[in-house]
Structure 1
């Protein structure tokens, strides 16, 4: 059983996030989430380390509501190392009620398309969103967090709102990496 947990842990780590000893902590999520207000373009301001974003700059996420109620995702970034742009399409689905901010995200083009948690801890819809993801692998958990903003270089006051959400949920700020949003193409 330990061998299986270790394989799952390594596989999860290969896709991303920060490994922690212990299970996923409870998070305080927002109430009355409105997916219609959340859709649109977001810029990644900060994030936990994720292998799939290694060396990425100008990172954006564009969310569009589908007729079937799912959310179409288009994530884009430019490699700071090579200057090559890349993108990946995904699908997000609400897990529970339509006003619950817990979603599951899948990127079908990945070799191992798995459902990943995508919880909006808080957003004001117009300036910031704090997103959390955590998956248990036995005695380990793999965690990721993002601060998304509607502007590529948000004012400090906007980031302070996001930090309040992070602090309220006891998410360590030590693992956050600022995303480079300078010198990005205007159409990106």
Structure 2
């Protein structure tokens, strides 16, 4: 078992995510969230380097409110820069604890490893940006993911700066971000 964990850390460190030592850092999420306002189309403006988005461009996330208890349908899509074909994955996100509504867990049933991941909203104004972060603790190390989502496909720098500032306030390094290619994308659905 430890060999698998070690390889996961090595692969994660070499091919993506943002590895760190120790437990996941303590971050502050939004104190309340209006999922009906959060719903809709978001464009990925920036991300930490990740294996599952390695060749992805034109990345979108579509959220649809399922119920008032805090469950949302999630559809993440991207186009491969190698094949120019669109792929998507569908799942659900739900608020785990109403006392911490910014901390959601996301599950994708089609992923072979049946596990849910964290989806923490560090900040959003609902209309222009969302700063989203995830961390998986591996006891002696952690793997972090970060995304800046925007309502516009190619937002102004001021919007990116607002989201970046949220990461800075949480002592998370914005230097880990890579700009997502949103150019030459086919028309939206």
How many pairs does the alignment contain? 188
Structure 1 partner of 2:54: 54
Answering whether residue 18 of structure 2 is matched by residue 18 of structure 1, we say yes
* 1:19-45 Cα distance to aligned partner (Å, 9 max, x none): 212210010211221111111100000
Is 1:129 aligned with 2:130?
yes
Alpha-carbon distance change, 15 to 117 in structure 1, aligned in 2, over 3 angstroms: farther
* TM-score normalised by structure 1 residue count: 0.91
SS at match of 2:6: helix
SS in 1 for 2:67: coil
Structure 1 window deviating more from structure 2 (50-59 vs 90-99): it is 90-99
Q: Distance in 1 between matches of 2:36 and 2:184?
A: 30
2:12–2:18: 8 Å Cα contact kept in structure 1?
no
CA gap of 1:92–1:16, structure 2 versus 1, over 3 A, is farther
Q: Would the aligned equivalents of 1:15 and 1:52 in 2 still touch at CA under 8 Å?
A: no
Which whole-Å CA distance do the structure 2 matches of 1:141 and 1:153 have between them? 31
Deviations 1:70-104 (A, max 9, x none): 11001110011220110110110111117711000
Residues 43 and 150, structure 2, Cα contact 8 Å, conserved in 1: yes
The reply to whether residue 30 of structure 1 matches residue 30 of structure 2 is yes
Segments of structure 2 that go 5 or more residues without pairing to the other structure are none
Q: Does structure 1 residue 184 correspond to structure 2 residue 185?
A: yes
- Structure 1 unmatched ranges of 5 or more: none
Find out whether 1:138 has 2:139 as its counterpart: yes
RMSD over equivalenced CA pairs, Å: 2.2
- Is the contact between residue 33 and residue 99 of structure 1 (CA under 8 Å) also seen in structure 2? no
Alpha carbons of 1:67 and 1:13: their partners in 2 closer, same or farther (altered >3 Å)? Answer: farther
